[in-house]
Amino acid sequence: MRRGIIFAIVLIMLFLPAVHAAEFNTSSTNIESNFPDLYISILKYEPFPAGPGEYFDLWMQVENKGLINAKNVEFSLQPRYPFFLDSNEDANRSISEILSHSGAVVHYKVRVDENAVEGDNLLDYSYKLDGRGPVGGQVNIHIQTLKAILSVEDVKTAPQTVGPGEEVNITITVKNNAESYLKYLTASMQLLYAPQSSAAGALTELPFTPIGSGNEKSVYQIAPGEKTDFNFRLIANPDSEIRPYKIPISINYFDELGKNYSRIELVGIIVGSTPDVYSIIDSTDLTGTGKSGEIKIKFVNKGTSPIKFLNVRLKDSDDYKIVSSYQAYIGKIDSDDYDTASFRVYLKHLKKGKAEIPIGYDFMDGNNNRYSIDENLTLEIYSPSELGKSNGSGWLIFFAIVIIAAVYFGYRRWFKKRKKKQ
């Protein structure tokens, strides 16, 4: 009988360490125990969520909920894929004592593999208490792309250059570069906005009007790696200034956790048109060959775009010799306006009253596109009679006849009077 009792006591003593070890397992209750009772939890990790290919700082709390102080606590972080510790980051932390109802904090810098799958991933740990254990556990770390990356892949405008009063179609292609769905996407064109340089409350209106639909488009969701298009149709106002414009586009969306993202993209639209310029000989005082005279050439801008830096060159010809500068700078000519360039030449040849005047001129439009034009103008020389003008010789003859007649009749009267007196 006594031998059996002793055997039972021995068995109890043998199992007591195991029971004790079970008592300091990670607890999820607030029930006090008569042993050191360690409760492991995450205080926080930053950034949250953790990002693939990035580091995060992890703070874990080791709390003793037991009535007995916990001595010689050895805590170890045991990461497995997709988590890693760099070689300079020790996995082990030693805590000499954790008082009853007190805690200690351990800190680690953990690296996430760049190919980690988004979602909750388990991070392992273990600890020993006064040389007993180890006791293992796990905590959840949420992995998600740190920024819900929505990139603008392409912007197309058709046509590439829109004239005042013309329509333009804009297609904005965006791509979800994250590994989770993006939801409730909206894109809106800010045609009325407040520039940073303007006074408080001052708004700028861009010279475009949406047609066919509003200036805001929406998409319910985009899957990871998927693309979608936002299509806008605008018309440039008829009085639009010829120049490039930047249209702010506000893009808003949510990730799977309900976090809202917002960004501003700029879309460039060029308002312009092909210049419509022609040249003609405006006037000349040349009357024939063997004489010098001035030729005025008129340049007319009948297009909607102003032209600038207009420079004109009179080219050499067998029909004349240039006796002034062969170049004339005009500069700017607004839409529906004209200006002239003058040259002096010595006219050597005419063919049926005409001479060829070759010229070249170059200029830029409102968007600094360069144009160069070569033309052959025809100079026609008209006689005074063809122009309906008299050269004055007829009047001289008339006056001479009148004078001669007056002298003749006067002489006759004088001669008759003299004869009667005799």
Query: Over the stretch 43-78, which tens digit does the pLDDT of each residue have?
Result: 999 988 898 899 999 999 999 998 999 999 999 999
Query: How many whole angstroms separate alpha carbon 184 and alpha carbon 228?
Result: 13
Residue 153 has pLDDT above 80, yes or no: yes
Q: Which residues of 286-298 are buried (b: 16+ CB within 10 A; e: fewer)?
A: beeeeeebebebe
- Residue, of 361 and 204, whose pLDDT is higher: 361
Q: What pTM was computed for the model?
A: 0.55
Running DSSP on this structure, what letter comes out for residue 242?
A: S
Instruction: Name the band, by pLDDT with cuts 50, 70 and 90, for residue 218.
Output: very high
CB atoms within 10 A of CB 70: 27
- Supply the mean pLDDT for the chain: 84
Report whether the peptide linkage leading into residue 47 is cis, meaning its omega lies within 30 degrees of zero: yes
Catalogue the E-assigned strands of 285-326.
291-301, 307-314, 320-322
The per-residue pLDDT for range 379-388, each reduced to its tens digit, is 988 766 655 5
Instruction: Name the band, by pLDDT with cuts 50, 70 and 90, for residue 392.
Output: low
According to CATH, the topology of domain 2-143 is Immunoglobulin-like (2.60.40)
| In CATH, 277-380 is 2.60.40.10 | yes
Residue 13 has pLDDT above 80, yes or no: no
Residue range 301-314: average pLDDT?
92
- First and final C-alpha spacing in the chain: 211
Catalogue the E-assigned strands of 35-144.
38-46, 55-64, 70-78, 83-84, 92-98, 102-112, 119-129, 132-143
List where CATH 2.60.40.10 sits in the chain: 2-143, 150-271, 277-380
Instruction: Name the band, by pLDDT with cuts 50, 70 and 90, for residue 252.
Output: very high
Residue 389 has a pLDDT of 54
Residue 123 has pLDDT above 90, yes or no: yes
Which is it for the CA torsion 257, 262, 263, 269, positive or negative?
Answer: positive
According to CATH, the topology of domain 150-271 is Immunoglobulin-like (2.60.40)
- Residue, of 416 and 319, whose pLDDT is higher: 319
